[in-house]
């Protein structure tokens, strides 16, 4: 059996949680004598081998003629290059792990034309949410139901309009958006005045994807509910939670002095990851005996946010900005800390780093939101904090510093996380089931 995996990117690009998941999954599937290949978008077409993986990169055109090119069925050049990969690798199943202009509906349809089965794993809310967070106006949890009006207004708000202005702009978009679209006007106000039409187009593409994919894999309950709400039958959905590769699990004491409290953060310097509220909480309590180390790479689009964070934290020696570590180094690294902090302000499907913390035997303090709340049991293996509430974060950090017995109690309750070997067993069963139908 041959499986072709399609993530958003792959080595030598900086890898996110989705790509680490794919890499780990492929390693385990290879042990089951399942032949795996990876293909991902790039600026040019090429093939190479990374570790034990055969990787095909397919070129995505940088020429965008209209806003519809960004939000429609996908890039034509990428689709044409993808056909060549299908002919070269001849997979039995194409497993999609992203949904972008490069990894698009066009690619799914190419696989279907070749009578190849398709699976799609819902890794992040960006797949169905134009705002990217599944938080209405950046505040309240959204059900994820695709609504042209609500999604248009919320997206306009994300682009900088206040709520009243977003409602007004959407109203104008409904009235005159089609005319502006025909004139191919883009940028600023012109884009805003086409938002209703752009959302309608994007929703059609998403609905077509939901209809055409053979099976969906979800990593948490909220994603399953979202797909069902948007018309996907339960029979098409498999819940298979995140897993990781780890050895020698132990929740025993790691001989770190109780104070200062050592906290780790691993994640992107993106506003959705919420690291700013963590830094604000610490800066607001200069008397607390704690230390936080932030491990992450800075990408171009995140540089301004990172620079602001570093400037704000520059006078506090308790806060350190450090280089990222490889996925293989994460668990040994986390054993040197008392806590992992996950202050995300969007609906995570994991994240993987929570499982890595549990494998290292340390508890988690994280936002009471999405996949985090599904993995962290309040007062058992971690502490859930009200999302984006500064005082709540300050209080939790204060309690952990003043009462070390809290950390000791949480550590004793940590259980080994799910393994990627188990995930690969579930995926292998799904692949075989699909191919037998």
The DSSP result for 178-244, as a single string, is: HHHHHTT--STHHHHTTHHHHHHHHHHHHHHHHHH-SEEEESSHHHHHHHHHTT--GGGEEE----B
Give the list of residues 6+ apart from residue 114 with CB closer than 8 angstroms, or none. 86
CB 261 within 8 A of CB 339: yes
223-113-50 Cα angle (round to 5):
65
CB 85 within 8 A of CB 58: yes
Q: What is the pLDDT of residue 118?
A: 98
Q: What is the pLDDT of residue 32?
A: 95
Q: What is the pLDDT of residue 389?
A: 94
Q: What is the pLDDT of residue 88?
A: 97
Residue 127 has φ and ψ, to the nearest 5°, of -65, -40
Q: What is the pLDDT of residue 437?
A: 77
Helix axes 148-158, 163-182, angle to 10 degrees: 110
Rounded distance between C-alpha atoms, residue 239 and residue 353, angstroms: 19
CA 55 to chain centre: 22
Q: What is the pLDDT of residue 288?
A: 96
Give the domains, in start order, of the chain with CATH numbers. 2-131+201-243+420-436 (3.40.50.2000), 135-198 (no CATH), 261-412 (3.40.50.2000)
Q: How many Cβ atoms sit within 10 Å of the Cβ of residue 189?
A: 11
DSSP secondary structure letter of residue 414: -
Query: Alpha-carbon dihedral of residues 423, 10, 117, 418, nearest 10 degrees?
Result: 10
**Is the alpha carbon torsion for 284, 287, 290, 292 positive or negative?**
positive
Q: What is the pLDDT of residue 174?
A: 74
Question: Of 267, 285, 256, nearest to 411 (Cα)?
Answer: 256
Q: How far is CA 136 from CA 129, 152, 156, 261, in A?
A: 10, 11, 11, 35
Alpha helix stretches (DSSP H) within 4-93: 17-31, 67-71, 76-89
Mean pLDDT of each 10-residue bin along the chain, 437 residues long = 97 90 95 96 96 94 80 94 98 98 98 97 96 91 95 93 89 69 59 84 97 98 98 98 84 78 94 94 96 91 92 95 91 96 94 95 96 96 95 97 95 95 97 92
Q: What is the pLDDT of residue 342?
A: 97
Rounded distance between C-alpha atoms, residue 385 and residue 141, angstroms: 15
**Is the alpha carbon torsion for 389, 390, 391, 394 positive or negative?**
positive
Q: What is the pLDDT of residue 56?
A: 98
How far is the first Cα of the chain from the last one, in angstroms, to the nearest whole number?
Answer: 14
CB 163 within 8 A of CB 157: yes
Rounded distance between C-alpha atoms, residue 378 and residue 363, angstroms: 11
Strands (E), 352-417: 364-367, 382-385
Q: What is the pLDDT of residue 187?
A: 60
């Amino acid at each position: 059996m041959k499986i072709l995996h399609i993530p958003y990117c792959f080595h030598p690009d900086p890898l996110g949680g989705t790509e680490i998941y794919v890499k780990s999954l492929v390693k385990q599937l290879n042990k089951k004598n399942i032949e795996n290949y990876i293909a991902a978008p790039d600026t040019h077409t090429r093939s190479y081998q990374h570790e034990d993986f055969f990787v095909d990169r397919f070129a995505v055109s940088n020429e965008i003629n209209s806003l519809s090119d960004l939000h429609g069925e996908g890039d034509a050049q990428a689709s044409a290059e993808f056909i060549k990969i299908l002919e070269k690798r001849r997979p039995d199943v194409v497993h999609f792990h992203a949904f972008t202009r490069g990894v698009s509906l066009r690619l799914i349809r190419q696989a279907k034309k070749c009578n190849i089965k398709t699976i799609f794993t819902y890794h992040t809310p960006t797949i169905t949410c134009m705002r990217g967070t599944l938080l209405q106006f950046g505040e309240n949890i959204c059900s994820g139901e695709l609504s042209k009006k609500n999604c248009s207004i919320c997206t306009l708000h994300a682009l900088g309009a206040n709520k009243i202005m977003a409602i007004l702009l959407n109203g104008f978009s409904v009235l005159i958006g089609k005319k502006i679209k025909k004139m191919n006007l883009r940028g600023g106000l012109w884009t805003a005045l086409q938002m209703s039409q752009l959302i309608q187009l994007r929703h059609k593409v998403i609905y077509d994807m939901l209809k055409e994919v053979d099976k969906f894999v979800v990593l948490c309950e909220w994603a399953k509910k979202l797909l069902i709400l948007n018309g996907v039958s339960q029979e098409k959905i498999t819940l298979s939670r995140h897993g990781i590769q780890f050895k020698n699990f132990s929740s025993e004491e790691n001989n770190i002095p109780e104070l200062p409290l050592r906290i780790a953060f691993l994640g992107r310097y993106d506003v959705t990851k919420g690291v700013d509220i963590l830094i604000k909480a610490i800066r607001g309590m200069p008397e607390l005996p704690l230390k936080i180390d932030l491990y992450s790479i800075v990408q171009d689009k995140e540089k301004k946010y990172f620079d602001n964070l570093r400037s704000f934290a520059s006078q506090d020696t308790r806060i350190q900005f450090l280089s990222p570590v490889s996925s293989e180094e994460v668990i040994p690294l986390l054993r040197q800390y008392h806590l992992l902090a996950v202050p995300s302000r969007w609906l995570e499907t994991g994240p993987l780093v929570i499982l890595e913390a549990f494998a290292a035997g340390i508890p988690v303090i994280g936002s009471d939101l999405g996949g985090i709340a599904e993995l962290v049991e309040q007062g058992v293996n971690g502490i859930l904090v009200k999302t984006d509430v500064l005082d709540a974060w300050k209080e939790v950090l204060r309690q952990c510093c003043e009462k070390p017995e809290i950390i000791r109690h949480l550590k004793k309750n940590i259980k080994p996380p799910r393994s990627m070997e188990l995930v690969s067993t579930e995926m292998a069963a799904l692949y075989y089931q699909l191919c037998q139908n």
